[in-house]
Amino acid sequence: DPTFLYVEVVSTVYFNTNITNKTTSDIETSAKAAISSFNQTNLSDFKTTLHYSNLVKAVDAADPSVVSNDTELTLIKRVVPRLNEAYPFDVIVNNKLQTEMGRKLSTSETHFGHTLTSSAFTYDGSRCILIDDSLGNVYIALQEAQTIRVLRSVGTLNYETGRLTVGESFNISGYEGNFIELRFKTDSKNIQSKTNTIIAIDPLDVVVTAVGVKE
């Protein structure tokens, strides 16, 4: 049976207002259509690669007025855990993951949530997420506005293989939506799938913001 890897696409699209009467909404619609077409033509099959440069070109070609785009990709794996009982799980995304974020001031400095984050779930009555610490450790953390408060260690993350292992201490009472999204930042902008894996861009994971410029 196939497994699915989803890719979130967040793109800021710049278009020349001197050569078009289209609105930002029009450009956003065209860019989303271009991304959907790219997905249907190049992905949604076994053992494929999402080539970042080709996706960026597709967005640039969405409308003659588009001059450039700034696009970020995040790899997503979806899980549907059982509630109110221990739910250990293994997830392997088979892509090398990022391990650093900026300059560290000391060898002991920790960068929480740089490579791995998740959508929200309820743990011990609080709204929480999963995060990594850039050292291979994974934690349940309280989701607060400006800070991250680690609650407990729950697993490990292998940055070379993209394997997330979560242990018996993952016991939650609820989550938002139909699944939990595990969000990974990959080391390469090109995202690959293995033999039994399909890469897909879900329209729900596409965010486009059009910005008009005068050139």
Q: What is the pLDDT of residues 64-78, one digit of tens each?
A: 999 999 999 999 999
Residue 101, pLDDT score: 61
Query: 71-120 pLDDT, tens per residue?
Result: 999 999 999 999 999 999 999 999 999 986 655 555 566 678 889 999 99
CA–CA separation, 96 and 161 (whole Å): 6
Q: What is the C-alpha radius of gyration for the chain, rounded to an integer number of angstroms?
A: 19
Residue 125, pLDDT score: 94
3-state secondary structure 60-113: HCCCCCEEEEEEEEEEEEEECCCCCCCCCEEEECCCCECCCCCCCCCCCCCCCC
Residue 148, pLDDT score: 78
Residue 107, pLDDT score: 58
Residue 109, pLDDT score: 62
Q: What's the predicted TM-score (pTM) here?
A: 0.89
Closest by Cα among 35, 36, 42 to 191: 42
Rounded mean pLDDT, 125-153: 89
Q: Which two tokens stand for residue 3?
A: 């497994």
- CB–CB of 170/81 below 8 Å? yes
Residue 114, pLDDT score: 86
Q: How confident is the model at residue 12 (pLDDT cuts 50, 70, 90)?
A: very high
Query: 177-209 pLDDT, tens per residue?
Result: 999 999 999 999 999 988 788 999 999 999 999
